[in-house]
Amino acid sequence: MTAQSPKQAKSKNALVSVKHLTRDFDVSPPWLNRVLEGKKKAILQAVSDVSFEVAKNSVYALVGESGSGKSTIGKIVVGLLRPTSGTVEVGGVDLTHETDKTRIEETRVGIQMIFQDPYASLNPRWKVKDIIEEPVAARGRDVTGLAEKLLEQVGLSAADISKFPHEFSGGQRQRICIARALAAEPKLIVCDEPTSALDVSVQAQVLNLMSDLREEFGLTYLFISHDLTIVQHMADTIGVLYLGRLIEEAPRNELFDNPRHPYTQMLLEAAPKLDGFGREVEPPKGEIPDPINPPSGCAYHPRCPIAVERCKNERPEMKQRDKARVACFLAK
């Protein structure tokens, strides 16, 4: 019996497998305007050939600047957007090409999402009881005592079931969103900037709650954030996105101790540090390129301090570098 390679073992343990994912948006002016003004169609590629895997009972974080494609990937995974090309497998079911509606429905029930704005994602006309019970009641299952139980599990009172969302603080609303996500007994929860709208002290409470619930229920998180401090606290594996492309992936400690891609190094240098008072950091050079007309070759080369001619003409592929994967010709 031959031993499995690390890559094969990882694939076998993967709950989510994203392969060559691409998503384009048509941002062109109306047809008549294009004809009169002589303009061509404008296509924005929000996600470009992204591949990664999320192991069961782990936290995989996607980080990057605004506009890097993090939220688009999250919405594709939960089914809110269709990919232009590529595949998304959850629990062995290819949600992009599967034709069996029963298998798709059963798989999607096990995927929930926690949105960035807890107030906007809650129906202001519904009581908390109805909000939490909806994912279960919609499938015709018994919901007796469910809302009360889940509210207590997320640190709220069972008596809160008769209240409306506007009667809660931001942190409490996010706890309600977490309770709603848990109601469907999910295997995977996609967390899209779940604490960015909260105060720092409340952020810590919500993140600790999510960590505890992960241990208690055996959850898997796809965690989307731009805050490296939060990612360092939550993630097991981190994927770094730039202009819709995955440019580095590594275990948490490996990424923070030994970042290989120049963009990852820039992000870590720019992040606030408790012991960094008075330090001088050179500000990042340049701006994110126009995603409608991205640069040729490596998308980061116009801002990269070590770019060479090859970077301008050829797009680097993700390659294994010890414990990490990195898309850079010059990565050590």
Q: How far is CA 330 from CA 248, 283, 294, 311, 327, in A?
A: 13, 22, 21, 9, 9
Report which of 247, 223, 192 is spatially closest to residue 48, judged by C-alpha positions. 247
* Summary mean pLDDT of the chain: 88
3-state secondary structure of 238: strand
For residue range 68-92, what is the model confidence (pLDDT) as tens digits? 999 999 999 999 999 999 999 999 9
Least confident of 20-34, 146-160, 208-222, 273-287: 273-287
Examine the pLDDT at 115 and tell me if it is beyond 80. yes
What is the distance between the alpha carbons of residues 52 and 74, in angstroms, rounded to a whole number? 13
- 237-242 and 245-251 beta bridge pairing: antiparallel
Q: What burial class does residue 179 get, using C-beta atoms within 10 Å of its C-beta: 0-12 exposed, 13-18 middle, 19+ buried?
A: buried
pLDDT at 102 over 60: yes
The domain defined by 6-110+186-271+290-326 folds into: Rossmann fold (3.40.50)
pLDDT confidence of residue 275: 60
pLDDT over 80 at 310, yes or no: yes
Assigned token pair, 288: 């994110």
**pLDDT at residue 214 greater than cutoff 50:** yes
Contact between residue 72 and residue 64 where contact means Cβ atoms under 8 Å apart = no
Structure tokens belonging to residue 74: 């999250």
Tens-place pLDDT, residues 35-45? 888 888 899 99
Provide the pLDDT for residue 2: 39
Name the band, by pLDDT with cuts 50, 70 and 90, for residue 276. Answer: low
Q: Using CA atoms, how far apart are residues 209 and 270, in angstroms rounded to an integer?
A: 28
Kindly report the pTM of this predicted structure. Answer: 0.89
Place of tokens 């995603």: 291
The bridge status of strand 319-321 relative to strand 111-114 is: unpaired
Give residue 284's pLDDT.
66
Write the CA distances from 94 to 18, 24, 66, integer angstroms.
10, 20, 29
pLDDT (average), residues 129-136? 92
Write down the domain spans for the chain.
6-110+186-271+290-326
CA angle 212, 216, 221 (to 5 degrees): 70
